Amino acid sequence: MNVLIVYAHEEPKSFNGAMRDTAVRVLKEVGHTVEVSDLYAIQFNPVGGKQDFTALAEPAIFKYGVEQTKATEAGTFAADVAAEQEKLLRADLLIFQFPMWWFGLPAILKGWVDRVFAAGLTYGGGRWYSQGVFKGKRAMLSLTTGGGPTIYSPTGLNGEMDTLLFPIQHGMLYFLGFDVLPPFIAWSVARSSQEEREKYLRAYTDRLRNWRTSETIPFPPLEEYDETLQRKQAVN
Ligand SMILES: Cc1cc2nc3c(=O)[nH]c(=O)nc-3n(C[C@H](O)[C@H](O)[C@H](O)COP(=O)(O)OP(=O)(O)OC[C@H]3O[C@@H](n4cnc5c(N)ncnc54)[C@H](O)[C@@H]3O)c2cc1C
């Protein structure tokens, strides 16, 4: 199986770097092919725009989504975008490895999503959610935080972690059809003891060994929504 880790940390000696290294080692040990997109190392440009294309289909008025769709048909994505898309299309498991920044993805990783999850290629024409392009493939968030688990509990000051991750897990990954594994969260790593951090790496190892058989988040399939895209009464 092919695994793509999209890694968004500038410092190789960071705990995110340790999680990435752990994932590469463990996944290779069990026989997978692992690719890493090290976004800072490749100086990935996170700003979506005209430079994403080698030619514009409708240059008079620039519409990003329209150009993405046309580039999918014409094969006119710029080399940096096309290289990431090829890795994405090869992956049976997609992992985002990142520190939580401002309750979400660091900009470099959000920009990777904007540019690589292109209209036409990864969604569109009725291909979304449970009928999405990546149906049958899996994805997982692996993140570190500054705050501890209680501040992200249902009554916690920062709001519930599941709610904060919904735009990524549902709005990006499940939107494309991925089955989304529960996130692996290493809480408050800078304030944890060395022993606690080593425990996180061991727990992550176990999670990675079981990624093919673990339960995924039970997001409802499209059949459970009516023509106004609201959950049908019967299943509420
Ligand atoms: C712009 C910005 C926005 C932020 N927004 C939020 C937010 O919204 N919510 C929130 O909760 N936090 C937030 N934070 C905090 C951020 O999430 C944490 O700083 C980050 O998750 C810590 O991860 P790290 O990999 O950078 O840790 P590091 O500080 O790199 O690592 C922590 C410790 O682990 C050690 N370590 C490295 N490798 C290993 C290893 N192999 N074994 C054991 N220990 C090791 C390191 O030496 C270090 O002592 C924000 C930070 C920034 C800069």
Residue spans per domain, the chain: 2-235
Mean pLDDT of 227-233: 94
**pLDDT tens-digit readout, 198-211:** 999 999 999 999 99
**pLDDT tens-digit readout, 122-169:** 999 999 999 999 999 999 999 999 999 999 999 999 999 999 999 999
Taking the C-alpha atoms of residue 41 and residue 208, their distance in angstroms, rounded to an integer, is 24
Core vs surface per residue 58-85: b (16+ CB within 10 A) or e? eeeeeebeebbbbbbeeebbeebbbebb
What local confidence, expressed as pLDDT, does residue 233 receive?
A: 81
Q: Does position 236 have pLDDT exceeding 90, yes or no?
A: no
Taking the C-alpha atoms of residue 160 and residue 97, their distance in angstroms, rounded to an integer, is 20
Mean pLDDT of 180-186: 98
Residue in the structure block whose two tokens are 């968030």: 141
What local confidence, expressed as pLDDT, does residue 234 receive?
A: 65
Q: Is 198 in the pocket of ligand 1 (CB under 6 A)?
A: yes
Q: Is 137 in the pocket of ligand 1 (CB under 6 A)?
A: no
The distance of Cα 178 from the centroid of its chain, to the nearest Å, equals 10
| Structure-token pair, residue 180 | 């989304």
**Average per-residue pLDDT in the chain?**
97
CATH entry, 2-235, from 3.40.710.10, 3.30.460.80, 3.40.50.1820, 3.40.50.360: 3.40.50.360
User: Looking at the whole model, is its pTM more than 0.85?
Assistant: yes
Pocket probe mutation, ligand 1, options 7, 16, 105, 145, max atoms within 8 Å of Cβ: 145
Taking the C-alpha atoms of residue 87 and residue 92, their distance in angstroms, rounded to an integer, is 10
Sign of CA dihedral 97, 64, 128, 232: positive
Q: Is 15 in the pocket of ligand 1 (CB under 6 A)?
A: yes
Mean pLDDT of 88-116: 98
Q: Whose CA is nearest to atom 30 of ligand 1?
A: 14
Using pLDDT thresholds of 50, 70 and 90, give the confidence band for residue 88. very high
Pocket probe mutation, ligand 1, options 21, 101, 110, 193, max atoms within 8 Å of Cβ: 101
